[in-house]
Copies of this chain bind each other. A is one copy, B any other.
Amino acid sequence: MADVATKERRILVAVDEGEESAHALSWCIKNVIMQNSKDTLFLLYAKPPRAVYTALDGTGEREDPSGYLFSSDITAAMESYTNDVADCVIEKAKRMCKDLHDVKVETRVENGDPRDVICQMVEKLGADVLVMGSHGYGLIKRAFLGSVSNHCAQTVKCPVLIVKKPKTNAENK
């Protein structure tokens, strides 16, 4: 264990607007990050790509070109909303890390399907471990098929730590 304190580890935590990812980060801070280490903690939020909420707003531009004119307003509102969510998620995650004086904390916000974003960023940042919740990844999770954590665990090369929300929460499955 002696070499750990002097080794810089790059720990990537995928955060979202859900309680589960906050719990995953909290668990990581308490159980993975070492005191007096040279760890770098990356907080990553995957912002939904525009295509997803354009498809979800239901105005169907392609099939009904004469239809609802506020489609672009909705898109703009959603863009603004997702930016606010991203800021909020990242700020909350940073606050949770405020007592990590020895550990470098960096944040990343990337557009795209969380599955792709997370796997790409693990590679790009050279992460030594990926930490994430087990849920379908937040607000728009139903827009994506399958479990994000499952996909990432199968895809990335580094160790993956999947942290579930504690039982006390009714939403936990």
Residue on B nearest A134 in the bound complex, by CB: B153
Q: How far is the CB of A169 from chain B (nearest CB, A)?
A: 12
CB closest residue in chain B, given A27: B159
Complex contacts, A1 vs chain B, CB 8 Å: 29-30, 33, 35, 99-100
Distance in angstroms from A159 CB to nearest chain B CB is 4
Q: Which of B31, B100, B128, B149 contacts A153 (CB 8 A)?
A: B149
Known: A159-B161, A160-B161; 16 extra A-B contacts, CB below 8 A, are A4-B30, A24-B159, A27-B159, A31-B128, A134-B153, A147-B154, A149-B153, A150-B150, A153-B153, A153-B162, A157-B164, A158-B164, A159-B162, A159-B163, A161-B162, A162-B162
Q: Is the CB of B154 within 8 A of A159?
A: no
Among A9, A33, A149, A160, find the residue whose CB has the most chain B CB atoms closer than 10 A. Answer: A160
Closest 5 pairs (CB-CB, A-B): A159-B163, A161-B161, A160-B162, A153-B162, A1-B35
Per-position binary interface string of chain A over residues 155-173, scored 1 when its CB falls under 8 Å from any chain B CB and 0 otherwise: 0011111111001000000
Q: Shortest Cβ distance from A12 into chain B, in angstroms?
A: 14
CA distance A158 to B24 in the complex (A): 11
Confirm or deny: A125 has a beta carbon within 8 angstroms of a beta carbon on chain B.
no
A34 interface residue per 8 A CB criterion: yes
Shortest Cβ gap from A26 to chain B (Å): 11
CB pair A32–B30 under 8 Å, yes or no, is no
A29 to B3, CA, bound (A): 11
A117 at the interface (CB under 8 A from B): no
Q: Can you list 17 pairs linking A and B with CB atoms under 8 Å apart? A: A1-B29, A1-B33, A1-B99, A1-B100, A4-B31, A9-B31, A24-B159, A32-B32, A134-B153, A134-B154, A153-B153, A153-B162, A158-B164, A159-B161, A159-B162, A160-B161, A161-B162
